[in-house]
């Protein structure tokens, strides 16, 4: 199976009840050879409607942060989510929904082979790094797991709700830029 076939299979997935309320499966977007993979928790309303990750107001903010460190989802990074279908009313995805969907992300990881995974927000960090991960204390730090570097920063939607955290998020992206320069071969 190649990456395109993986996507086609995912687009018709019915492994968990979120398939009943979704409009579109949001598989992910970006460069297939990306060395940096961003992972959010799940699609919101705009993402569900368009079938692309981070396309609403929070997506525009994310794109600004990416641009600031010379990343671009059409060129040198990839963006995906823990769950590929929108949870109703934007509630947190349930543990069983995350568990059902995680194999898709694992397969994406297997094809893309990123050097760095950046978790966007608490849910992604707790799913990918550690169940008790504390985003306000541990954001911007790198953790090595199985040869891949993991880092978490605030979810862009949280930054829109709480703009006081924007400088901290910006410094996380500056730290990320330095780490990319250190460990990535072709991102820049």
From the CB of 138, what's the least distance to ligand SF4, in Å? 27
Task: Identify which of residues 35 and 48 has a Cβ nearer to ligand SF4 in the complex.
Answer: 48
DSSP three-state, residue 81 = strand
Cβ-based nearer residue to ligand SF4, 37 or 149:
37
Tell me the HSE value of 142 on the side-chain side, using a 13 A CA sphere.
17
Task: Choose between 83 and 119: whose C-beta lies nearer to ligand SF4.
Answer: 83
**What is the side-by-side order of every strand in the sheet holding 29-30?**
29-30, 78-81, 36-40, 116-120, 148-153, 142-145
Least distance in Å: CB of 41 to ligand SF4?
11
Of residues 39 and 83, the one with the C-beta less far from ligand SF4: 83
Token readout for 14 is: 């019915």
Strands 78-81 and 29-30: antiparallel
Report the residue number, 69 or 82, with the smaller CB distance to ligand SF4.
Answer: 82
Helix ranges, the chain (H): 3-10, 45-50, 57-68, 95-112, 122-128, 135-138, 156-161, 166-183
d(CA 53, CA 27): 8
Could you tell me the smallest distance in angstroms from the CB atom of residue 65 to ligand SF4? 26
**Dihedral angle computed from the Cα positions of residues 51, 58, 120 and 137, in that order, rounded to the nearest 10 degrees:** -160
Contacts of 161 by beta carbon, 8 Å cutoff, 6+ apart: none
**Shortest approach of ligand SF4 to residue 23 CB, angstroms?**
12
Q: How far is the CB of 27 from ligand SF4 (least distance, A)?
A: 8
CB of 12 to ligand SF4, least distance (A): 9
Q: Which residues bind ligand SF4 (CB under 6 A)?
A: 10, 13-16, 18-19, 25, 83-85, 97, 100-101, 104
Nearer to ligand SF4 among residue 15 and residue 166 (C-beta): 15
């Amino acid at each position: 199976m190649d990456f395109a076939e993986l996507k086609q299979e995912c687009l018709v997935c019915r492994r968990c009840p979120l398939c009943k309320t979704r409009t579109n499966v949001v598989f992910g977007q970006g460069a297939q050879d990306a060395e940096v993979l961003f992972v959010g928790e799940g699609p919101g309303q705009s993402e569900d409607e368009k079938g692309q990750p981070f396309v609403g107001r929070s997506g525009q903010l994310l794109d600004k942060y990416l641009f600031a460190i010379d990343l671009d989802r059409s060129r040198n990074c990839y963006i995906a989510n823990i769950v590929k279908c929108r949870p109703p009313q934007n509630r947190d995805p349930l543990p069983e929904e995350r568990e059902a969907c995680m194999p898709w992300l694992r397969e994406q990881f297997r094809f893309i082979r990123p050097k760095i995974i950046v978790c966007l927000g608490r849910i992604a960090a707790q799913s990918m790094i550690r169940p008790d991960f504390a985003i306000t204390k541990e954001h911007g730090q790198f953790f090595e797991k199985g040869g891949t570097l993991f880092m978490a920063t605030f979810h862009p939607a949280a930054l829109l709700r709480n703009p006081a955290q924007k400088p901290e998020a910006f410094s996380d992206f500056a730290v990320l830029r330095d780490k990319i320069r250190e460990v990535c071969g072709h991102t820049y």
